[in-house]
Amino acid sequence: MSKQEEAGLILKLYELRREETMRKARDWYFREFNPQSMADFNAAIFGEHSGHLRMVVTYWDMAAALVNNGAIDMELFNDSNGEHVGVFAKIELLLGEIRSAYGPKFAANLEKLIDAMPDGRKRTAGNREQMKVMLAKLAATQAKAAQG
């Protein structure tokens, strides 16, 4: 595949991320979905945001499959995307339990891509720490706004 075709796929992936329902799903995933246990994951997968959870994870798993199978060069993909690292970071520590409950292929393409990236697991760990800081700031801002 030519670089122009790969670029076209990346632009199409970006366009899909801008779709209204996907934007809402991504917003929920990064602001509100912070599973610390399998119970937290199950609450989401069986709750009102089940569609959001599945939409975000399967979107990035599909995008990762394009990279893993050579449709998009990994370096080009990683140079133009970073959100997949954050998506994986949220589920990484529960992945074994999730797969035991829901099947061995859950986010398998995403994991394969993370593992193929230089320092992929290190990046996801750093991303988790970064998200904790950002969520704490968001909570503080929301608490301050609620006070007046």
Q: How far is CA 39 from the centre of its chain?
A: 19
3, pLDDT greater than 90: no
Amino acid at 34: N
Residue 41's closest CA among 115, 83, 99?
99
List, in order, residues 6 or more apart from 62 with CB less than 8 Å away.
109
Our measurement of the distance from residue 54's CA atom to the centroid of its chain's CA atoms, rounded to an integer in Å, reads 10
SS3 content of the chain, % helix, strand, coil (to 5): 80, 0, 20
**Look-up of token digits 């609620």:** 146
Query: What is the per-residue pLDDT across 70-103, written as a single tens digit (0 to 9) for each?
Result: 999 999 999 999 999 999 999 999 999 999 999 9
State pLDDT tens for residues 107-133: 999 999 999 999 999 999 999 999 889
Q: Render pLDDT for 21-46 as a digit per residue (tens, 0 to 9).
A: 999 999 999 999 999 999 999 999 99
How is residue 120 written in tokens?
């992929």
